[in-house]
């Protein structure tokens, strides 16, 4: 199903357009198209593939779903998959959003997740100085929104953990406590499968230069940040960019130690510290991880 199909130029909304008109707008200078789909059929995806010249392997991943969080390079575009976690009747449903990003377009394909990105679009349209940076800024805004939605659910799990800890020393039966702990473990695994691969994928963009898998597309199709256009939030995130690779490495080591301690002790009383660490390392530094993308996919080099 088509949710939105909007053309933008120089940070301003031009018009809501029909999918068949996309090629007319992406040919215009300083113009890009932002399309949002929800569980599209094969014909709709085929139309998007034709309009944006999407790679068939990426389209196949988006159509089948159930992908691991990742960021991959296909020629002059990037393809990202993020997990969207939603509470449904006491359980956590794991949906997905597949994101196609090119120099003059961004396409989001949402599956098995009810909440869309209307507020993200509204926020971007209210910040034309950032939106004029193009699809790169929209990519960051969508990723930031997905991760933001993790934190209220993590807070609920923390509260549940505290309740279980109180019950352990109360009159609740040991079997009930064990069942509650295993139910919580299953929900925590949903978060682990969503976050851990995504941190690895971001490392492929911002790690040491010789280890960046996507360094080619970043250097060919992204212009350096313009100091005259930078704002205080982007500046703060860019300041953290230099040591992000080391931070991601350190975080991975700390995560392994954390998991080992949790298995030995049964209950990890450092859950609140882990939540703050996740917020600090991901929400803040994901911005630094995509610092170049925030400044948009630039026009391609001469002749393109």
Q: Which residues of 276-286 are buried (b: 16+ CB within 10 A; e: fewer)?
A: eebeebbeebb
> Are 154 and 45 in the same domain?
no
> Are 161 and 280 in the same domain?
yes
Chosen domain end from 143, 178, 195: 143
Confidence of residue 163 (pLDDT cuts 50, 70, 90): confident
Q: State how far the Cα of 47 lies from the Cα of 23, in Å rounded to an integer.
A: 11
> Residue for token digits 């939030």?
233
Mean pLDDT of 102-126: 94
Chosen domain end from 93, 108, 143: 143
Q: Which residues of 223-238 are buried (b: 16+ CB within 10 A; e: fewer)?
A: eebeeeeeeeebeebb
Look at residue 292 and tell me whether its pLDDT is greater than 70.
Answer: no
Q: State how far the Cα of 128 lies from the Cα of 8, in Å rounded to an integer.
A: 10
Instruction: Kindly report the CATH number assigned to the domain that includes residue 52.
Output: 3.30.460.20
Asked, for residue 64, whether it belongs to a domain, the answer is yes
User: How far from chain centre, in Å, is Cα 96?
Assistant: 10
> Are 159 and 73 in the same domain?
no
The predicted structure's pLDDT at residue 199: 79
- Whether residue 37 contacts residue 107, with contact meaning beta carbons closer than 8 Å, is answered with yes
Asked, for residue 268, whether it belongs to a domain, the answer is yes
> Are 105 and 195 in the same domain?
no
The predicted structure's pLDDT at residue 207: 52
The predicted structure's pLDDT at residue 280: 52
Confidence of residue 107 (pLDDT cuts 50, 70, 90): very high
Flag whether the pTM goes above 0.85.
no
Look at residue 238 and tell me whether its pLDDT is greater than 90.
Answer: no
> Are 210 and 89 in the same domain?
no
Asked, for residue 299, whether it belongs to a domain, the answer is no
> Are 195 and 122 in the same domain?
no
> Residue for token digits 């139910």?
183
- Whether residue 33 contacts residue 23, with contact meaning beta carbons closer than 8 Å, is answered with no
> Are 102 and 202 in the same domain?
no
Mean pLDDT of 78-88: 92
Q: State how far the Cα of 304 lies from the Cα of 60, in Å rounded to an integer.
A: 27
Range with lowest mean pLDDT among 11-25, 122-136, 227-241:
227-241
Asked, for residue 302, whether it belongs to a domain, the answer is no
Asked, for residue 304, whether it belongs to a domain, the answer is no
> Are 233 and 279 in the same domain?
yes
The predicted structure's pLDDT at residue 136: 86
Asked, for residue 48, whether it belongs to a domain, the answer is yes
Q: State how far the Cα of 72 lies from the Cα of 78, in Å rounded to an integer.
A: 6
Number of domains in the chain: 2
Chosen domain end from 143, 173, 194: 143
> Are 34 and 78 in the same domain?
yes
Pick the most confident of 18-22, 90-94, 287-291: 18-22
> Are 178 and 116 in the same domain?
no
CA 137, 139, 141, 143 dihedral sign is negative
> Are 117 and 193 in the same domain?
no
Asked, for residue 159, whether it belongs to a domain, the answer is yes
Asked, for residue 300, whether it belongs to a domain, the answer is no
> Are 170 and 258 in the same domain?
yes
Q: Which domain holds residue 265?
A: 150-294
């Amino acid at each position: 199903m088509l949710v939105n199909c909007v053309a933008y130029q120089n940070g301003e909304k031009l018009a809501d357009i029909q999918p068949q008109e996309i090629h007319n707008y992406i040919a215009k200078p300083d113009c890009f198209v932002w399309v949002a789909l929800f569980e599209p059929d094969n014909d709709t995806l085929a139309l998007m593939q034709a309009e944006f010249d999407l790679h068939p392997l990426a389209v196949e991943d988006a159509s089948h779903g159930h992908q691991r969080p990742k960021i991959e390079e296909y020629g002059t575009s990037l393809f990202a998959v993020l997990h969207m976690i939603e509470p449904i009747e006491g359980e956590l449903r794991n949906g997905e959003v597949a994101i196609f990003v090119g120099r003059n377009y961004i396409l989001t394909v949402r599956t098995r997740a009810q909440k869309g990105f209307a507020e993200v679009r509204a926020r971007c349209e209210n910040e034309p100085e950032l939106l004029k940076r193009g699809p790169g800024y929209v990519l960051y805004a969508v990723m930031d929104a997905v991760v933001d939605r993790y934190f209220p659910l993590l807070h609920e799990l923390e509260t549940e953990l505290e309740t279980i800890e109180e019950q352990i020393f109360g009159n609740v039966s040991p079997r009930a406590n064990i069942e509650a702990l295993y139910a919580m473990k299953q929900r925590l695994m949903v978060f682990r499968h969503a976050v851990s691969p995504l941190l690895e994928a971001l490392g492929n963009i911002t790690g040491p230069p010789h280890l960046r898998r996507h360094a080619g597309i970043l250097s060919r199709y992204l212009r350096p940040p313009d100091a005259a256009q930078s704002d205080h939030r982007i500046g703060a995130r860019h300041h953290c960019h230099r040591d992000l690779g080391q931070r991601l490495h350190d975080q991975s080591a700390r995560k392994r130690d954390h998991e080992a301690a949790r298995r030995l002790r049964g209950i990890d009383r450092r859950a609140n510290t882990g939540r703050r660490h996740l917020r600090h390392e991901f929400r803040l530094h994901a911005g630094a991880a995509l610092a170049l993308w925030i400044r948009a996919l630039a026009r391609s080099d001469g002749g393109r």
